[in-house]
């Protein structure tokens, strides 16, 4: 059970907003000099929800994570966590929030228990209460028997679980995780998601998780998809996918030019709006399989391969942005932005 700490001097901390939603963004903007990293983001996260921030590298999700974790002050707009302004009330925000960073933050020369005790001290816990919390979080991540082991002797998956336990030591209402499954094998990845669901269901924790992996985004209750600092889609994975009418149909051609020419002629012949992505023509259409035969009959010999599928999250991204989730352009700009983003 969550043990919440409420001191008598609670009146000292006056929330900046009174929304019931634990995380609220209102026209949040951030720039690094001339480059705009976040462009007027507005959305809110409901309580006891797993909320995903999906976007390719350089989309602004790391910037947003830094702002929400109070490590950076946004250049414009407002972000609140449980009513407290992340820019002006960092101390209050930090007390409500558990944070799991992407990089390892454990001290590998200390034992699991020492790391957790240290983390507890930083959040004002001590003595008997802290010992009980350590036992509780260790049990939650199934590492009770490794409490006395040095962190450097644990596997990557176990270290990640200790990170999670560390983020939960003060029973936060909001948990922020930055790419939490990076470097984990599929089994450890599933375990981690299982823990997050348990936190949501049993403790009512609001979980915000950033990811660049489509498969993981599917696990979220609700998603915000970011591209180049803008919010391009917001909703549950099912809702987002259902905004795409029917099936996603792909035609693979020999060259990029052939794809563009085929797309143009297809648009003239049928009532569709295809897009050429590399050497592939992509469109959305009800009853994709029937449309497929019509196209193959109309343009014999031009198509090298076809596929018809139910819409995936990547299709939502493509539909909203007009380009693929991973493009050469993003890869190049990632290298250039890595220093600051």
Partner 1 sequence: MATIATTAPHGTRHQHAIRTAKPGLFIPSFSLWQREIVRFYRQRARVIGVIASPLLFWVAFGAGFSHSFSSGNAGASGSAFGYFFPGSIVMIVLFTAIFSMMSLIQDRNEGFLLTVLASPVSRSAIVLGKVLGGATLAAIQGLIFLLFSPLAGVHPSFAGVLLAAVVVLLISFEITALGFTIAWPMDSTQAFHAIVNLILLPLWLLSGSLFPADKASGWLRAIMLANPLTYGVDALRNGLDPAAHTDHSLPINLAITLGFCLVTFATSWAVVNRRTSKPAA
Q: Which two tokens stand for residue 340?
A: 């600051």
How big is the chain by its Cα radius of gyration, in Å? 23
132 makes contact with partner 1 (CB under 8 A): no
Pairing assessment for the beta strands 280-285 and 247-252 based on DSSP bridges: antiparallel
324 makes contact with partner 1 (CB under 8 A): no
* Smallest separation, CB 203 to partner 1 (Å): 7
CA distance 25 to 39: 12
Stretch that binds partner 1, among 9-17, 212-220, 222-230, 242-250 (CB under 8 A): 9-17
171 makes contact with partner 1 (CB under 8 A): yes
**Is residue 182 within a helix (H) or strand (E), and if so which, with residue range?**
none
CA distance 165 to 186: 20
Stretch that binds partner 1, among 71-79, 226-234, 241-249, 295-303 (CB under 8 A): 71-79
Question: Which of 52, 56, 172, 229: binder of partner 1 (CB under 8 A)?
Answer: 172
Contact 57, 334 (CB under 8 A): yes
CA distance 219 to 197: 9
91 makes contact with partner 1 (CB under 8 A): yes
Q: Which is nearer to partner 1, 95 or 280 (CB)?
A: 95
Contact 283, 292 (CB under 8 A): no
238 makes contact with partner 1 (CB under 8 A): no
Q: Which is nearer to partner 1, 116 or 262 (CB)?
A: 116
How many Cβ atoms sit within 10 Å of the Cβ of residue 193? 16
Question: Which of 19, 27, 185, 201: binder of partner 1 (CB under 8 A)?
Answer: 201
DSSP letter, residue 179: S
Residue numbers of the site for partner 1 (CB under 8 A)? 2, 4-7, 9-10, 12-13, 15, 30, 32, 47-48, 66, 69-75, 82-83, 90-92, 94-97, 99, 101, 103-107, 109-110, 114, 117-119, 121-124, 126, 142, 166, 170-173, 191, 194-195, 197-198, 200-205, 340
């Amino acid at each position: 059970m969550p043990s919440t700490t409420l001191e008598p001097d609670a009146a000292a901390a006056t929330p900046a907003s009174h929304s019931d939603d634990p995380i609220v963004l209102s026209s949040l903007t951030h720039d690094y000099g001339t480059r705009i990293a976040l462009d007027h983001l507005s959305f809110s996260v409901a309580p006891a929800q797993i909320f995903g921030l999906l976007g390719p590298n350089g989309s602004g999700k790391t910037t947003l994570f830094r702002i929400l974790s109070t490590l950076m002050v946004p250049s414009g707009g407002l972000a609140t966590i449980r009513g407290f302004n992340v820019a002006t009330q960092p101390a209050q925000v930090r007390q409500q929030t558990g944070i799991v960073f992407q990089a390892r933050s454990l001290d590998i020369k200390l034992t699991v228990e020492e790391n957790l005790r240290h983390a507890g001290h930083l959040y004002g816990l001590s003595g008997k209460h802290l010992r009980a919390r350590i036992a509780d979080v260790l049990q939650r991540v199934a590492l009770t028997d490794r409490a006395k082991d040095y962190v450097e002797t644990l596997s990557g998956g176990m270290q990640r679980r200790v990170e999670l336990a560390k983020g939960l030591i003060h029973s936060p209402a909001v948990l922020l995780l930055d790419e939490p499954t990076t470097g984990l094998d599929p089994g450890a990845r599933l375990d981690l998601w299982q823990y997050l669901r348990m936190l949501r269901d049993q403790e009512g924790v609001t979980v915000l998780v950033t990811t660049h992996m489509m498969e993981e985004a599917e696990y979220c209750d609700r998603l915000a998809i970011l591209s180049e600092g803008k919010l391009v889609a917001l909703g549950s994975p099912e809702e987002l996918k259902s905004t795409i009418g029917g099936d996603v149909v792909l035609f693979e051609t020999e060259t990029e030019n052939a794809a563009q020419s085929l797309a143009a002629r297809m648009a003239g012949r049928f009532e569709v709006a295809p897009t050429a992505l590399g050497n592939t023509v992509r469109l959305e259409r009800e009853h994709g399989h029937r449309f497929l035969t019509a196209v193959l009959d109309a343009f014999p010999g031009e198509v090298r391969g076809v596929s018809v599928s139910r819409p995936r999250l990547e299709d939502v991204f493509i539909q909203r942005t007009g380009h693929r989730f991973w493009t050469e352009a993003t890869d190049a700009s990632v290298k250039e932005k890595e220093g600051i983003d």
